Amino acid sequence: MKTRRTRSQIQVLDLLKQLKSAISAQELYVQLRQRQVSMGLATVYRSLESLKLEGAVQVRTLSSGESLYSLTQEDTHHLTCVRCGSSVVMAECPVHGLESHLTESHHFQIFYHTLEFFGLCEQCQLAEEDSLTATG
Q: What is the pLDDT of residues 105-115, one digit of tens each?
A: 999 888 877 78
Which residues make up the CATH 1.10.10.10 domain(s) of the chain?
A: 1-72
Contact 76, 30 (CB under 8 A): no
Q: Which residues contact 6 (CB under 8 A, 6 or more apart)?
A: 47, 50
pLDDT at 38 over 70: yes
Q: What is the pLDDT of residues 59-116, one digit of tens each?
A: 888 778 889 998 887 677 888 888 898 888 888 887 878 888 888 999 988 887 778 8
Task: Decide: pTM greater than 0.85.
Answer: no
Q: Give the Cα separation of 3 and 11 in Å (integer).
A: 15
Q: Give the Cα separation of 61 and 64 in Å (integer).
A: 8
Q: Answer whether CATH 1.10.10.10 is correct for domain 1-72.
A: yes
Q: Helix, strand or coil for residue 70?
A: strand
CATH T-level fold of 74-136: Dna Ligase; domain 1 (3.30.1490)
Quote the pLDDT of residue 25. Answer: 96
